Structures are given as C-alpha cells and as structure tokens.
Chain A
Amino acid sequence: MVGALITVPIVAAAASPLLAYRSIAYIAAGFAGVVALGLVFAQPLLMSGALPGLSAYRARRLHRYTGVGLVAAVVVHVGGLWLTSAPDVIDALTFTSPTPFSPWGVVAMWAVFASALLVALRRRLALRPKVWRAMHVLFAVVIVTGGVVHSLLIEGTMETWSKAALCAAVVVAALVALRRIVARNG
C-alpha cells in the first residue's frame, strides 16, 4: 500500500504525454519533484513506528538516509528547472513569480534545507532535545504543507488522481506522526 502510493505516481508520470516535449534536464527536474513528494510521505511513517517489522533503530537510520535523499531530490528539482528556464526559477526564488504554486515550493525547499542543517548541526547547536524536536517538527509541517499545495496547484507530468492520493497520504501520515509525537513527548 505504502509502496504503491509512492511508485504509482512515478509510473503514471512516466506515461505523461508532456514528456515528449521536454528536455532531459526538465524531465529529471519533474521526476525529482515526484520522488521528493514520495520521500516526504515516507519520513513521518518512519518516525511514527507506522511501518511494521522495522526496529526503532533501523527506522531512525532510514529516516536520516531518506532525509539526505530528500535534500538531493530538491537540489535536482530546482537545478533541472534552472537549466530549463533560469528566469522562471529566479522569479520563483525571489517570490515574484506569476505562478501561485511557486512560493509554496520555495518555502518548502528552505524548510528542507533548514531541517537538514538542524540535523547536521545537532551536536554543535546543543539545543535541549525538546526544543530541537519542536523545531524539526515545525520544519516538517512547513515541508508537508508547502510541498502538498505546491504539487496540487501544478499542471505538470503527474497524473491527477495518483497525485491527489499521494498528497492525501502525505497529509494523513504527517498528522498521525504529529499525534504520536505529541502523545509521546507532550
């Protein structure tokens, strides 16, 4: 079920007629976006213990690898779009884009980077665990909200229904994880 929610959108996007009219960089950028959304779905599942047969230790390690993968996917997404049309990416990054979905994506991107930095600098920052976790969860909420709205508003290679299903799954997974974190840590 979890696998299908992630793989079906990728397979459906691979069948998009729009791909025929796109360069390699643009195609890679699009798929990196689809993969990123799938990884955003996996992240809360890994940390809420929702996946059976996975020890807490292994789940946490996978969560970290998936986070690295998410950063890479976002970099490929934005980099590929830059190669396709730099002025459109500059508009998005400076919040002057005519497209309503751009600011959602850009804010989510910064939240992904901020979240990754928070993880990388965990020891050096020496924040109280409760504060660190609250910040990480806050970034996660921004990533989920921004990412979901960003992808729903876009008319691109993603097929409408598989995109809607994955977006709904992302939101549900995030809410379940949020509830468990609050229940566990107050």
Chain B
Amino acid sequence: MNSLPLDRRNLLAASGALLVTGFPAIIRPASADGLAPTPTMRGGANNYIKGAPIVERIGNGGFWMSGTVRRAGDGAPLEGIRIQIWAHTTEGSESDRHSHGATLTDAKGVFRLEMPQIVPAFGQAHGHLAYDSGKFDTVFLRPLMASSKDKSLEAHFVLKPV
C-alpha cells in the first residue's frame, strides 16, 4: 500500500498551501468570476408595483435618475433592459401609481429617466429602482441622495443571468 506519510512537516506544508491557495477562492468567489452581481438593498422593494409602464418621463420632471446596467462576470453593458423607478416626490408618495415609471437601457447599458424632485420620506431622501424582467436575477435598489437638494441620483446594476 502506498500511503502518504502524514507527519508534522507534511501537515504544516499542506495547511500552508491551503491557506495560500484555497481560502481566498472560498471567501471571494467573485474574484474568480469577474464582476460580482449587485445585491438587493434593504427596503429596496418597498412600495414596488409590478409592471409600471415605460414612460417618457414621470410626472412633470425636473429631476434625473440615471445609471448603468452590466452583466455579472464580464461586465458587458446590457441593452434594452427595463428598469423601473419610483420615489416619494413633490408630486406624490411612493405608493401612488403615478409615482412609478420604467425606462430601457441604450446600447451602452445606460438608462436615464426624468421624474419629479425627490423629497425626504421616512427620514431619508432616497429613490427606488428595480430590475424584474426574469432573464436575470431580480434586483431592488434604494440609493440615498447625498443632499436632499440634489437634482439627480445614480444607481448601477450588475445583473446575474438566471
């Protein structure tokens, strides 16, 4: 029988090798696959209404929500992705249907939708965005405005294919 002698030196060497090569791959699986998918944020899905229509702009506008959508792994920009946007604004609360709208990304994976000015609600000035079209894992975002006087807000998606 040809067995590996398990003495102190071999054990130390094996543990060392595992520490160097094995653990980082376990702790950071994303590094092996490239760009990691964006996780859903806490409270991101609050007051979501499924199937908001694609619109030129929400209400009377004056505020810009923009961002990018890329594919997890290789980071390729994704075109024609439907992003839904809603917030508490000067024209209505989050749960009002008219506060919701959707837009599509262009060839560079960029989306941009004009909407009414976001005002602080539930203690923070924030917006809501959703990707929920099925081809990729669903993601809900809840970005915060640095100042409630800002006239724009950005949010970026990295989506994982289903």
**A interface list, Cβ under 8 A from B:** 18, 20-23, 26, 81, 84-85, 87-88, 91, 96-99, 101-102, 153-156
A12, chain B: closest CB distance, angstroms: 16
With an 8 Å Cβ cutoff, the count of chain B residues facing the other chain is 23
Does the CB pair A155–B43 fall under 8 Å?
A: no
Q: Identify which of B67-75, B88-96, B105-113, B152-160 touches chain A.
A: B88-96
B121, chain A: closest CB distance, angstroms: 8
List 3 tightest A-B contacts by C-beta distance, closest first: A98-B42, A154-B123, A87-B46
Of the A-B pairs whose beta carbons lie under 8 Å apart in the complex, a sample of 9, sorted by A's number, is: A21-B93, A81-B122, A85-B46, A85-B93, A87-B47, A88-B122, A96-B43, A99-B123, A99-B124
Q: Which of B41, B89, B93, B121 has the most CB of A within 10 A?
A: B121
Does the CB pair B47–A155 fall under 8 Å?
A: no
One of A91, A153, A154, A155 near B46 (C-beta < 8 A): A91
* Cβ-closest chain B residue relative to A155: B120
In the complex, chain B residues whose CB is within 8 Å of the CB of A97: 42-43
In the complex, chain A residues whose CB is within 8 Å of the CB of B91: 21
Prevailing SS type, chain B contact patch: loop
Does the CB pair B120–A156 fall under 8 Å?
A: yes
C-alpha spacing A17/B89, complex, angstroms: 12
Contact with A along B32-46 (1 / 0, CB 8 A): 000000000111011
* Cβ-closest chain A residue relative to B126: A98
One of B92, B93, B142, B148 near A155 (C-beta < 8 A): B148
C-alpha spacing A23/B121, complex, angstroms: 12
C-alpha spacing A113/B130, complex, angstroms: 37
Asked if B125 is at the interface (CB within 8 A of a chain A CB), the reply is yes
C-alpha spacing A87/B94, complex, angstroms: 11
Contact with A along B126-162 (1 / 0, CB 8 A): 0000000000000000100000100000000000000
Q: A21-B91, A101-B123 are known contacts; what are 20 more A-B pairs with Cβ within 8 Å?
A: A21-B92, A21-B93, A26-B93, A84-B122, A85-B47, A85-B94, A87-B43, A87-B46, A88-B46, A91-B43, A96-B42, A97-B42, A97-B43, A98-B142, A99-B43, A102-B123, A153-B123, A154-B123, A155-B123, A156-B123
In the complex, chain B residues whose CB is within 8 Å of the CB of A101: 123
Asked if B119 is at the interface (CB within 8 A of a chain A CB), the reply is yes
C-alpha spacing A99/B122, complex, angstroms: 8
